[in-house]
Chain A
Amino acid sequence: MSNNSCMDLTAKGGFSFDLCKRNAMLSQKGLKLPPFRKTGTTIVGLVFQDGVILGADTRATEGPIVCDKNCEKIHYMAPNIYCCGAGTAADTEAVTDMVSSQLQLHRYHTGRESRVVTALTLLKKHLFNYQGHVSAALVLGGVDCTGPHLHTIYPHGSTDTLPFATMGSGSLAAMSVFESKYKEGLSRDEGIKLVSEAVCSGIFNDLGSGSNVDVCVITKGHKEYLRNHMLPNPRTYVSERGYSFPKKTEVLMTKITPMKEKVEVTEGGDAMEE
């Protein structure tokens, strides 16, 4: 009886409110909604002799499941500014993309290299506006004309300026490494080693972080994005026997016909702006 009426409604289109009562009843009984994708994370940054080094792990989690084993948490903001993001993955991606485009427009407008405080102010304005509902915790680092800067930005919009910083669920494990080993005036290699150590501490001691270590070194006029700088969790067992799949369809003939070129490709020409 009721089934027939349901089918009539869905045929007309529009939102079907049939399940709302059931959902309300379930949530009252204590059923939790499926969790959204978070980057339960270890992100770190430190200021060294010539600039800033950022580091991050590469695990993205959806509740108890690892949904991405090798995601990128160090986001591009400007040629001289990078930002690590922890919290809800969609929020960190969207916010960093948005501010990155705003910085680009600002660069066109002013004709100058972007400053880290500009990115900082744009980010904290946006996050404060949304009163913490945009769940993005960021470590922002870069080198501009005023020198190297490292900032942390919390989801509610407050910021800190620090010589070394960690955020995310693995922040305590990483901070214990920084607090015991950080010195001022580290060289590039010492800095990378310390950052990797801190991220590894998060990877091995925190369940929300794992897989590989990404490092980004920013100095005056130069940046180096070391994607998968360390792979401390290799796949150790690979079956030696290999796999044999049963033959299904036989290949009778192979013929390759090159497509006619429809577009003229000219070498040289104007390069696109970055």
Chain B
Amino acid sequence: MESNSETKQHTLLSSESGIQRTQYPYVTGSSVVALKYKDGILMAADMGGSYGSTLRYKSLERIKPVGKHSIIGASGEISDFQEIMRYLDDQVLNDNMWDDGNSLGPKEIHSYLTRVMYNRRNKFDPLWNTLILGGVKKGQKFLGMVTMIGVNFEENHIATGFGNHMAQPLLRAEWHENLTFEEGVTLLEKCMRVLLYRDRSAVNKFQIAKITEEGVTVSQPYALKTFWGFKAFENPTAGAEGSW
């Protein structure tokens, strides 16, 4: 590790045109979508891990609880996500050892993650993830995002990766304060269905996680119904022989 960073330094100083990213993501997860609702946070992600263009893993859990008050969802490199979970488990353990009745809230964990991601980015050795962190502590809801270069912000509804292009327009049009649980789930399912149709790395196996003041619930994996029965799909080139 030491010699690695030294040689990296060397290349940085010696040739200007030779700077390259030190990593490529190998096993990647696609988008995660999350929103604030009346009682807390809802987060949804599919369970697929792609190895380049192969759909290698179909049962990855990309949403995990952190401590008592938060859930984290990650897209991007899965091994980096597992590393981040180790760091977070260390933090939670340390916090428990204080045994002072207080526990890490979502804001603290978000801040910690921002620092970790930004510092790695400064060393040109990023953790290739976009993380969504949501939680409720003492009645206060929190939903925030940290990207692999350390960009962080809080919002009422967040999506990563392809979800930014396909899910955010729907969320921006239809999200409002005080969604009920059912409305929130319907909206998330709508977003995930659109992503399922149009994102090549999406799988039809989802988990929705909910966090409220009471605690965390991560649902069992389930599939969404899709509709392919348009008349125009049956014989699309009926009037246009030679086209697709």
Give chain A's interface residues, CB within 8 Å of chain B: 47, 116-117, 120-121, 124, 146-147, 149, 151, 158-163, 172-173, 175-177, 179-180, 184, 197, 201, 204-205
* B230–A149 CB distance below 8 A: no
- The answer to whether A162 and B236 touch (CB under 8 A), given A172-B198, A176-B194, is yes
Binds A, one of B22-30, B123-131, B141-149, B165-173: B165-173
Find the residue from A121, A161, A184 having the highest chain B CB count within 10 A: A161
B172–A179 touching, CB < 8 Å:
no
Since A159-B243, A159-B244, A175-B198 are in contact, a sample of 12 more A-B pairs with Cβ atoms closer than 8 Å, ordered by chain A residue number, is A117-B239, A149-B239, A158-B244, A161-B232, A161-B239, A163-B233, A175-B166, A176-B166, A177-B170, A179-B198, A184-B232, A205-B168
Which chain A positions have C-beta within 8 A of B236? 160-162
Q: List 26 A-B contacts (CB under 8 A).
A: A116-B240, A117-B241, A117-B243, A121-B242, A124-B243, A146-B239, A151-B243, A159-B243, A159-B244, A160-B236, A160-B244, A162-B232, A162-B236, A173-B165, A173-B166, A175-B166, A175-B198, A176-B165, A176-B191, A176-B194, A177-B170, A179-B194, A180-B194, A205-B168, A205-B169, A205-B172
**B242 contact set on A, CB distance < 8 A:** 121
Interface of chain B, main secondary structure: helix
Hey, what's the 0/1 contact readout for B155-178 against A, CB within 8 Å counting as 1? 000000000011111101100000
Q: Which residues of B contact A47 (CB under 8 A)?
A: 232
Q: Is the CB of A176 within 8 A of B232?
A: no
Question: What's the count of A-B pairs with C-beta under 8 Å?
Answer: 77
Is B197 a contact of A179 with CB atoms below 8 Å?
yes
B190 to chain A, nearest CB (A): 5
Q: Tally chain B residues at the interface, Cβ within 8 Å.
A: 26
The distance from the CB of A169 to the nearest CB of chain B, in whole angstroms, is 10
CA distance A177 to B165 in the complex (A): 11
B 210-244 to A, binary, CB cutoff 8 A, 1 in contact else 0? 00000000000000000000111100110111111
Is there a chain A Cβ closer than 8 Å to B193's Cβ? Answer: yes
Q: How far is the CA of A158 from the CA of B242 in the complex (A)?
A: 10
Cβ of A184: which chain B residues have Cβ within 8 Å of it? 230-232
Q: Specify which chain B residues have a CB less than 8 angstroms from the CB of A160 in the assembled complex.
A: 236, 243-244
CA distance A159 to B193 in the complex (A): 25
Decide yes or no: A201 and B198 within 8 Å by CB, A151-B243, A159-B244 being known contacts.
no
Q: How far is the CA of A180 from the CA of B195 in the complex (A)?
A: 10
Within 8 A of A (CB), among B62-86: none
Top 5 nearest A-B pairs (CB, nearest first) are A163-B232, A172-B165, A173-B169, A161-B236, A159-B243
A195: min CB distance to chain B, Å: 15
Of A124, A147, A179, A197, the most chain B CB neighbours within 10 A belong to A179
Chain B residues in 8 Å Cβ range of A204: 169, 172
Is the beta-carbon distance between A120 and B172 smaller than 8 angstroms? no
Give Cα A149–Cα B238 distance, bound, in whole angstroms: 10
CB nearest neighbor in B for A182: B230
A99-B190 Cα distance, complex, nearest whole Å: 40
A162 to B239, CA, bound (A): 12
Q: How far is the CB of B89 from chain A (nearest CB, A)?
A: 36
Residues of chain B contacted by A117 (CB below 8 angstroms): 239-241, 243
Chain A residues whose CB sits within 8 angstroms of the CB of B231 once the complex forms: 163, 184
Bound Cα distance from A28 to B169, whole angstroms: 40
A172 and B166 contact, CB distance less than 8 A? yes
CA distance A69 to B82 in the complex (A): 48
In the bound assembly, the distance between CA atoms of A176 and B191 in angstroms comes to 8
- B240–A176 touching, CB < 8 Å: no
